[in-house]
Homo-oligomer: A and B are copies of this chain.
Amino acid sequence: MTWWDEQTWANMVAGENCGMCQNVALESNPFSDLVAVLDHSYVRLARNQTHAGYCLVILKEHATELHALDTATLAGFWAGVARAGRAIDDTLHPTKIDYFVMGHRMPHVHCHLYPQHLTDDPFRNPDISDGDTALTLEATRSRVTQLQLALQAQHR
């Protein structure tokens, strides 16, 4: 398969019916649960926790490419990603965190924070579609709370 046809892609880029715009602020959606609202972004815990701590940081505004953002928004977005990364580090102690910005199906700037743990093979390029480890509702709430506390602790 090749890329979206020109008109479909133009509509996606323009933000028509953008699923992220619609669902980013919900406490829960089919893909993730809300952790925090930062200055320029939302932090959400991915439902797939095969890589424990996997979170998304999603820009508040609809934009497709990093170079479309003004200087303050670009810096603020990545400051938010770094804050979320630090919270994941403090909470789940991964050995490394990977960061992926794609958006082929959802062209709205967002970053996948994809932790690598001691059980992961460092020679394997990660794929965010790996595994389907879903936590129980209770465990999800517990992880969200842990991350919230870690983010709040950064302000003290």
Contacts and interface: CB of A to CB of B under 8 A. Distances in A.
B98 A78 contact: no
Contact of A71 (B79, B123, B129): B79
B95 A3 contact: yes
A104 B89 contact: no
How many protomers of this protein does the assembly include? 2
Given A3-B122, A78-B75, A85 B67 contact: yes
B89 A82 contact: no
B103 A100 contact: no
A81 interface: yes
A107 interface: yes
Interface in A90-116: 95-105, 107, 116
Given A3-B118, A67-B82, A78-B78, A99 B97 contact: no
A148 B61 CA distance: 31
Contacts of A95: 3, 9
